[in-house]
Amino acid sequence: MFDPFLFLSRCSGSPRRPGPGGRGRVPLIAGLCLSAVAVALPAGAQGPAGPGGRIRKPQITDTIRANVYADNWFMLYVNGELVAVDSIAFIPHNVVSVDILPRYPMTIAVMARDNADPKTGMEYANSQIGDGGFILKFADGTVTDGSWKARCFSHGPVAGDTRNPRIESEPVPDNWFAVDFDDSGWKKAREYSEQEIDPKKPFYEADFRGAKFIWTDDVRLDNTVIFRRTVTAPPDGRPRPDFSRINDVVPDGPPKGGGRRPPGGPPR
Ligand SMILES: [Ca+2]
Ligand SMILES: [Ca+2]
């Protein structure tokens, strides 16, 4: 099973490097995320009524696609539940796309990390300073922009000093991804242009239209950043069913056989 605290320890700026077992778990979990339908559903809301007034099962058409690109790595929570982890730490830069079952208000929390040595804040054998960058779009119209909250938890090399590099970091709060986490004291994210972030090829192969690259004020030296945003209603205005109680009831269909392989076998 996935251990979020394993990732948290990798992301907290701790100088402790993950062991071989830890490294091997990242692509496994990300691979699961790529095919998963993530259900981020707090209790208490009513589900959608199907025929006869019963709750129907959610279908893939009830989900929305989430596209995420980070320079260099991220983990994504929606409504307090982990829904995606970047499958590659830290290069090459990749797009992660997952299907999520939305519920509103939707609280999105992201930990993003630049490729930076945890002791120096530099990269590539401490030869240079790298820069960060993050962008996200959900198919309901949710996008990253300057309205998101952002806070740095690991910074370096302090003052850009590459001769005697050191970092300043602080512990990431245990509940940074929780719906009720208090980010009221956090500053807003800063938007960056595409030219400033210089995204790599996969970025252009996914839909990020309308989304802005974001980071804290220092895209070079702030290396571990947490972003948060609560979306109160679907930005595209389209009403969507709420499946919060789907596991508390016996739902209607869909009919048996709905997932059967079509005649002719899989596409080649
Ligand atoms: Ca950096
Ligand atoms: Ca980078």
CA 115 / ligand 1 centre spacing (Å): 7
Distance, CA of 175 to CA of 80 (rounded, Å)? 9
> Using an 8 Å Cβ cutoff, are 36 and 85 in contact?
no
CA of 35 to the centre of ligand 1 (A): 31
Domain range list for the chain: 4-248
176-227 pLDDT, tens digit per residue, is 999 999 999 999 999 999 999 999 999 999 999 999 999 999 999 999 999 9
Residues whose Cβ atom is located within 5 A of ion ligand 2: 71-72, 114-115, 130
Ligand nearest to the CA of 129: 1
DSSP run (H or E) holding 7: helix 4-11
CA 132–ligand 2 middle distance (angstroms): 5
Find the 123 Cα to ligand 2 centroid distance in Å.
Answer: 8
Centroid of ligand 2 to alpha carbon of 56 (angstroms): 44
d(CA 236, CA 234): 5
Q: Ligand 1 centre and the CA of 45: distance in Å?
A: 42
The pTM of the full predicted model, rounded to 2 decimals, is: 0.80
Closest ligand relative to 160 C-alpha: 1
Residue found under tokens 């309308």: 210
Which tens digits make up the pLDDT trace of 79-98? 999 999 999 989 999 999 99
Q: How many beta carbons lie within 10 A of that of residue 142, not counting itself?
A: 22
Exposed, middle or buried by CB within 10 Å (0-12, 13-18, 19+), for 125?
exposed
Nearest residue to 183 (alpha-carbon basis) of 109, 117, 249:
109
- CA–centroid distance, 41 to ligand 1, in Å, is 35
CA of 116 to the centre of ligand 2 (A): 8
CA of 110 to the centre of ligand 1 (A): 17
> Which of the ligands is closest to the CA of residue 157?
1
244: left (phi over 0), alpha (psi -120 to 50) or beta: alpha
Q: Which ligand approaches the C-alpha of residue 165 most closely?
A: 1
| Cα(210)–Cα(191) distance, integer angstroms | 12
Ligand number nearest to the C-alpha of 128: 1
Token duo for residue 22 = 């830890």
What is the distance in A from the centroid of ligand 1 to the CA of 152? 11
Each residue's pLDDT, cut to its tens digit, for the chain (268 residues) gives: 334 334 443 433 333 333 333 333 433 344 333 333 444 444 334 457 765 667 889 999 999 999 999 999 999 999 999 999 999 989 999 999 999 999 999 999 999 999 999 999 999 999 999 999 999 999 999 999 999 999 999 999 999 999 999 999 999 999 999 999 999 999 999 999 999 999 999 999 999 999 999 999 999 999 999 999 999 999 999 999 998 888 888 888 665 666 667 777 666 6
